Structure 1
Amino acid sequence: MLKGLGGLLHRFRWSVLALTIVITVLAAYYGIGVFDTLKGASINDPGSEAIQAGKLIGSKLSSSSTDVVVLLSSPTLQASDDAFKQAVDDLQQKLQARSEVDSVTSYYTDKSAGMLSRDQHEILMLVNLSSDGAGKMGNYKNIAPLFTSPTLTVNTGGTIVSDIQFNDQTGADLQYAELVTLPIIALLLFLIFGGVIAALLPLIIGIFAIIGSFAILRLLSNFMEISSFAVDVVAFMGLGLAIDYSLFIVTRFREELLLNENDVRIALHLTLASAGRTVLFSGLTVGTSLICLLIFPEVLLRSIGLAAISSALVAMLASLLVLPALLAIFGLRINALSLNKVLRRRPKSVVQDHGAWYTLAKFVMRFSIPVTLVIVAFVLFLGTPFLHATFSSPDERSLPEGRSARVVQEHLKKNFVGQGVAEMDIAITTSGDVLSADNLALLQTYVARLQATPHVTSVLSLTSVDPRLTLKDYQQLYAHPESSPELAKVAKQLANGNVTEVIVTTDAVGHSDQAHALVGTIRDVAVPSGITRLIGGTNAVEADLFKNIEATIPWALSVMAIAILILLFLLTGSIIMPIKAIILNTLSLSATFGVLVWGFQDGNLQKLLHFQSIGSLDSTQTILIFALAFGLSMDYEVFLLSRIREQFDLTHSNREAVALGLQRTGGLITSAAILLAVVIGAFATSKIIFIQEIGVGVALAVLMDATLIRSLLVPAMMSLLGSANWWAPRPLRALWSVIGLRESEQSTLEQRPVPSELFLQDSEEKQIQTL
């Protein structure tokens, strides 16, 4: 497939290098601005009922969600003390004087019992920001230094504050992870390659992949919301895959140099015709696996899916275009500054056909049944904790302890009446003015039905503000607002034209399964003819999210499976091999998720990773981990199967092909898995829980796949299946003979313009005859 690319890159190597430097500088200049464009992308389906309810209420009513929630507290003063009140007044005046602020209310101005803590040592202040100028997020950053008091402890929370703190923490975690990872990766590469130059090249390609991916991310941010968490994904996907691919390319190039009497051009040509083809296929497989994330309507998953696909493709292209140009420039100097010279070792002439991996494969295939039973039982045992998995949507609890947004959220639930219980915001639309007598009558009928619903503790609406008033009283007072200023104020907050808000409070704990079930119960309440309703609120948003994910997962998995089946069929010519690969990957991932439940949901990794368990796994990150881990696992599947297919074409022996294929790739796959696990595992040091979940989950999946699955279970299963491994219906076999994407070792040998004596040391009789 890539026969001419090696020669082309060798001929224009300096031009390619110059162009690469220009692209890198431009990409770095443009991509560095990605951090200013990222947002806390929505984890929710923008078309769900709850989101539509929130949009309607936010656009029509003044009772829309608050931008900044300020928690003011003192361990000694109470809210009734003059010093406490004076400190609040001083802060409120400073904020009201700023153009970035639209409105400020506090316990003293609103007199709401829900804004005063149970012990009266804490109160709430609600701040709404202007959207003019730098936008609400920029306006908050401008006034953030004002949230201080010499008398009180001030903590700020709310959606905008949590988004900013998530972004800041993500950037800090990324810098720390890179600081820790790069030196370790450099050392491991040096030990693997045994030389400085060969070790530096994958690192250079990895850095180029990160820079290029950041530029693409910045470009995508012009057309859609991009989550701040996409930066982490881009970093470890770009660096990890670039190092993986470079490892295979550089290793094959060094082998070809030895086989072709140090002819750089021929070595590069043969490297891209073999290892290059595998890298191309692997990059397409990883990218195809991640397409399933684009099926989900949630902005978070779609943005991270695009980011991950972009980084995989950039890493692949850099390994196929930039790296070969560098190899052509360095040429024989690829082995410079080598450990072999220091230790006075002779370099290996060729890859051994009968080494440790070959012996392991033969042993596994000899005892294939007990090996299969033991490995499958062990993997299923690791996966058993997943049977009691629970899921939640990410919120301030995912931030590190001590962050103000998390502090505010925790104190609201713990110390304030009515906080922490499940509430639902219902957007009511009527025909004509909602304050008309007829519409008020319809609204009261609906409110009465809500009040009679089990587990509903209170309903706040236009017709239930004061239980002493009758429907006729409300109709008369709303018709003459001057007669009741208090009701007029309520009407201004809860109604606008033909839209009104009804707030339902229940006795269920927020974010619980009972709260999510109550959303369905409230939606089942009959609505009088003449009005329509949309059920919203945090718990409704979560319920819709889980329902949407549950409905979308089968489609996403189907797309992933079909894509993998097609690609691996084109690689192997078999339909059994792709099916087996999907089953084994799913089996491996079940163990990974079992460990995640044990470690994060059950809290057994709290002390080691310094986090506080919230008793559940993040629902969206679980999907992300599955997609990333599945794609990266298929990466190694391609490397192994491509070599097994090559050997099968030569030997026509299933057992020999498996043993030789594992011998040729076992060490490389293990090395690549260790490097990738180090890159990804560095994100376990993050201070954000769900990023830790990604780091641990994907790193564990990669290591488990490269050891238990690829080294043991795959050879055992292929031995059990025997010749059935390569089965395909006759029409598909005919199709594959025409379009099968392979580059067997036989055709590669035919291209080598070197004496046959070089192959006699390590070739079998069939290979000699073929040559």
Structure 2
Amino acid sequence: MTENKNFAARMGRWSAQHRKKAIFGWLAFVVVSLVVGSALGVKAPEDDTTYVGDSGKAHQLVDEHFPSENTESVLVKGKDAGAVRAAVDDTLAAVSEQKGVYAVESPYEKGNEGQLAKDGAALVNFKLRGDETAAEESVAPVLAAVERVQKANPSVFVGEFGMASANKALSKAFEDDFKKAETLSLPITLLILVLAFGALVAAGVPLLLGLSAVMAALGLVALPSQLFPLGDEASSIILLVGLAVGVDYTLFYLRREREERARGVGHREAVQIAAATSGRAVLISGITVIVAMAGMFLAGDQTFTGLAVGAITVVLVAMIGSVTVVPALLTVLGDKVEKGRVPFLHRLRRQDGESRVWSKVLDLVLRRPAISAVLATAVLLVMAFPAVGMKAVLSGTDDLPRNLPVMQVYDKMEASFPGGQIPAVVTIKADDVTSPAVTAAVKDLETRAVDSGRFNAPADLTVSQDKHVAQIAIPIKGSGTDTVSNEGLADLRQSLVGQTVGRADGVSAAYVSGMTAETKDYVDFLKSRAPLVVGFVLVLAFLLLLVTFRSIVIPIKAIVLNLLSVAASYGVLTWVFQDGHFEKTLDFSSNGGITAWLPIFLFVILFGLSMDYHVFILSRVKEGVDRGMKTEDAVAHGIKATASTVTSAAIVMVAVFAIFATLSFIDFKQMGVGLAVAILIDATLVRAVLLPATMKLLGKWNWYLPKRLHWLPEFRHEAAPEPARG
């Protein structure tokens, strides 16, 4: 065997020679990671919202002039006024005696008329001490007390809603969804791998690396979280990406090792060939994925920062595991990797690594490359067309699962007090916000807002202790993120505020916040950051592939093909969720758009993951070219040899991502469908049709490198040796 000098080959050789150190060292690394993570704890952000635009300026004023407050409300609703009054009295007594509760307001006290609805419903308002985290903890006994009041007053409805109670309930629902995805993904992944390999032991090896990489990453993210606080989304992305790339990387190794064994190569030598070839492809694709994920840091949003930290950590761990422990495992197992064969399935598999189905498809594509390329491109463009009308929205209260008790309380509150839970909030700054001129302007604002037909009365005025800042909360019509609410916001910002409090004597600033304003500002902010993220990913991916394959054509073509995959997935996503197809099947109601953070997230994730396949396939093609094969023959051999591996890896990804489409939250559903569709498109139309067709058409031009770039280092893609003949 030719001595291989690349890093993956050297690591594979070391791993095979020091099997115990590699295996037990990896297990120790996973355990230590979990212990360190458990001891440190993942630091969560104090506030999981990124405030930008005018709404961000409003929040800055509030943070500077108001103490941190957490307001909760208990709704008491019934037909009998006497029963409602009795339940209100019980609620006041039950809530007041709870620790951390203060400023309890009875709806029957003078000045609190706004807490009584026309339908007879009443609100008991109170506040919780501490920040958001402390409030979520202290709200639990309050919720229990309210539940006891409900049991004692069965003739009326008694329920609590507020930021603390809603966040607690939604966090629990989020955690339950995550557990469901985790529980379903493992057996489904194992089943697919058994079908792919026809043997239980071989199927278990990729799953083992994927699981251990996820476990280690879940512990390790506690370290960067001390600098970059991470929300719950980090755990989701670690499971999602970790299982996908962990399985992928091991599949690349295992397939190549088995293929070499089928060619007659000795076991130890087969492992080393796999390390030198597939291992090198893993390192290149892993670095490409990490580069793509790093683009999320440029989004300027702490949610994206958390996603980037989680994804990069788990990809790095999986990459390290694939070049250190996988060769050791394969060396220890030897031919035992075939143990636990499923007879029928095993007989269906070819041992030369080529796929019967994809071989026939590829032969057809290479006979008619121009027609194949045109047809595949046309299909992708048709799929992408709906994305032209894609609208970005943020999920509002209407999009939250209605089976949650807290959302049922919200719906009842909204029916009795329309817009009161999601008001538009006008924040003003003045020398004295209680001056006659400002007071008159505030009253004028309320009158004009209600008269416009876009807002409800009454408005609620809150003044800071230093009298420099005031907040006017005006109940807005609509769901908070729909057209009705956005029209109200535009009216408020463009005319009402400027005509009233904005020009009052002594007022130096006036900003509009609230759910509607924050949604619009955030969507506009993400749109402004998207070109920066996309540009960063494309430029670095281009440079990485340019250096790896010493061709200017390969990276350009890879970027174009990936963009086609992403565009097609955007189109399907828009057609399904924005246009409202398959609502019953997927159990959702269209909110008229795609959640604002998803297009950037999908682009980064899909670009990274699809590069896995691209690098793996092209490395095999370049290996053939380096061995002296014609480009057309190398393309045919490379894609046929890798097609079954790519298909198996893609099916695992599609299955895992599709699980997220079954979860409760519409954001998860959109993410699951978008990822699953894109990977399916990428592994079929793009990799099996467009890639070989364009490579056949370009011929030698695939490897074109301008003379001025010939100084670039050359990385030879090691070819497998011919098997010894007796």
Report the TM-score when normalising by structure 2.
0.88
Q: 1:567-615, CA deviations, whole angstroms, 9 ceiling, x for partnerless residues?
A: 1112222222222222222222222122222222333222112233333
- Identify which of 179, 186, 193 aligns with 2:183: 179
Q: Is the 8 A contact 1:196 1:336 kept in 2?
A: yes
State the match for 1:104 in structure 2: 104
- The residue type paired with residue 405 of structure 1 is V
Q: Is the 8 A contact 1:455 1:507 kept in 2?
A: no
State the match for 2:391 in structure 1: 390
State the match for 1:357 in structure 2: 358
Paired with 2:688 and 2:610, the residues of 1 have a C-alpha distance of: 13
Q: Is the 8 A contact 1:289 1:564 kept in 2?
A: yes
Query: CA-atom RMSD, angstroms?
Result: 3.4
Paired with 1:398 and 1:32, the residues of 2 have a C-alpha distance of: 34
Paired with 1:399 and 1:32, the residues of 2 have a C-alpha distance of: 31
Paired with 1:649 and 1:669, the residues of 2 have a C-alpha distance of: 22
Q: How many residues align?
A: 707
- The residue type paired with residue 54 of structure 2 is E
Q: Is the 8 A contact 1:508 1:514 kept in 2?
A: no
- The residue type paired with residue 517 of structure 1 is A
Q: Is the 8 A contact 1:457 1:507 kept in 2?
A: no
Once the two structures are TM-superposed, the CA of residue 684 in structure 1 deviates from its matched residue by 1.5
State the match for 1:618 in structure 2: 595
Paired with 1:133 and 1:661, the residues of 2 have a C-alpha distance of: 55
State the match for 1:310 in structure 2: 313
Once the two structures are TM-superposed, the CA of residue 232 in structure 1 deviates from its matched residue by 1.7
| 3-state SS in 1 of match to 2:661 | helix
Give runs of aligned pairs for residues 664-679 of structure 1, distance below 5 A.
664-679=641-656
State the match for 2:3 in structure 1: none
Q: 1:409-439, CA deviations, whole angstroms, 9 ceiling, x for partnerless residues?
A: 4334443245488623223143xx555x6xx
Q: Is the 8 A contact 2:76 2:158 kept in 1?
A: yes
Further displaced range: 638-647 or 34-43: 34-43
| 3-state SS in 2 of match to 1:667 | helix
- Identify which of 216, 221, 224 aligns with 1:217: 221
Q: 1:119-140, CA deviations, whole angstroms, 9 ceiling, x for partnerless residues?
A: 22x3323331111897112112
The change in CA–CA distance for 1:52 and 1:338 in structure 2 (over 3 A counts) is: same
Once the two structures are TM-superposed, the CA of residue 201 in structure 1 deviates from its matched residue by 0.8
- Identify which of 54, 60, 64 aligns with 1:49: 54
Q: Is the 8 A contact 1:66 1:126 kept in 2?
A: no
Further displaced range: 675-684 or 373-382: 373-382
- The residue type paired with residue 402 of structure 1 is N
Paired with 2:304 and 2:409, the residues of 1 have a C-alpha distance of: 27
Once the two structures are TM-superposed, the CA of residue 65 in structure 1 deviates from its matched residue by 6.2
Q: 1:517-555, CA deviations, whole angstroms, 9 ceiling, x for partnerless residues?
A: 346525877657864315122222122211211110111
- The residue type paired with residue 131 of structure 1 is G
Once the two structures are TM-superposed, the CA of residue 40 in structure 1 deviates from its matched residue by 9.0
- Identify which of 299, 302, 312 aligns with 1:299: 302
Once the two structures are TM-superposed, the CA of residue 118 in structure 1 deviates from its matched residue by 4.0
Paired with 2:419 and 2:190, the residues of 1 have a C-alpha distance of: 54
- The answer to whether the aligner puts 1:17 opposite 2:23 as a matched pair is yes
Q: Is the 8 A contact 1:6 1:324 kept in 2?
A: yes
- The answer to whether the aligner puts 1:288 opposite 2:291 as a matched pair is yes
- Identify which of 603, 609, 614 aligns with 1:632: 609
Once the two structures are TM-superposed, the CA of residue 59 in structure 1 deviates from its matched residue by 4.7
State the match for 2:119 in structure 1: 119
- The answer to whether the aligner puts 1:533 opposite 2:509 as a matched pair is yes
- The residue type paired with residue 470 of structure 2 is E
The change in CA–CA distance for 1:318 and 1:106 in structure 2 (over 3 A counts) is: farther
- Identify which of 475, 490, 494 aligns with 1:517: 490
Structure 2: stretches of 5+ with no match in the other structure: 1-5
- Identify which of 709, 720, 735 aligns with 2:711: 735
Paired with 1:348 and 1:418, the residues of 2 have a C-alpha distance of: 64
Q: Is the 8 A contact 1:457 1:506 kept in 2?
A: no
Paired with 2:53 and 2:205, the residues of 1 have a C-alpha distance of: 48
Once the two structures are TM-superposed, the CA of residue 72 in structure 1 deviates from its matched residue by 2.7
Once the two structures are TM-superposed, the CA of residue 11 in structure 1 deviates from its matched residue by 2.3
Structure 1: stretches of 5+ with no match in the other structure: 466-489, 759-771
Further displaced range: 715-724 or 90-99: 715-724
Report the TM-score when normalising by structure 1.
0.83
Once the two structures are TM-superposed, the CA of residue 351 in structure 1 deviates from its matched residue by 4.1
Paired with 2:201 and 2:531, the residues of 1 have a C-alpha distance of: 47
The change in CA–CA distance for 1:527 and 1:563 in structure 2 (over 3 A counts) is: farther
Paired with 1:343 and 1:691, the residues of 2 have a C-alpha distance of: 34
State the match for 2:129 in structure 1: 130
State the match for 1:484 in structure 2: none
Once the two structures are TM-superposed, the CA of residue 310 in structure 1 deviates from its matched residue by 1.4
The change in CA–CA distance for 1:529 and 1:645 in structure 2 (over 3 A counts) is: farther
State the match for 1:373 in structure 2: 374
| 3-state SS in 1 of match to 2:73 | strand
Larger radius of gyration: 1
- The answer to whether the aligner puts 1:499 opposite 2:468 as a matched pair is yes
Give runs of aligned pairs for residues 704-723 of structure 1, distance below 5 A.
704-723=681-700
**Equivalent pairs: percent with the same residue?**
26
State the match for 1:681 in structure 2: 658
- The answer to whether the aligner puts 1:269 opposite 2:289 as a matched pair is no
Q: Is the 8 A contact 1:209 1:315 kept in 2?
A: yes
- The answer to whether the aligner puts 1:557 opposite 2:534 as a matched pair is yes
The change in CA–CA distance for 1:344 and 1:719 in structure 2 (over 3 A counts) is: closer
Paired with 1:602 and 1:115, the residues of 2 have a C-alpha distance of: 39
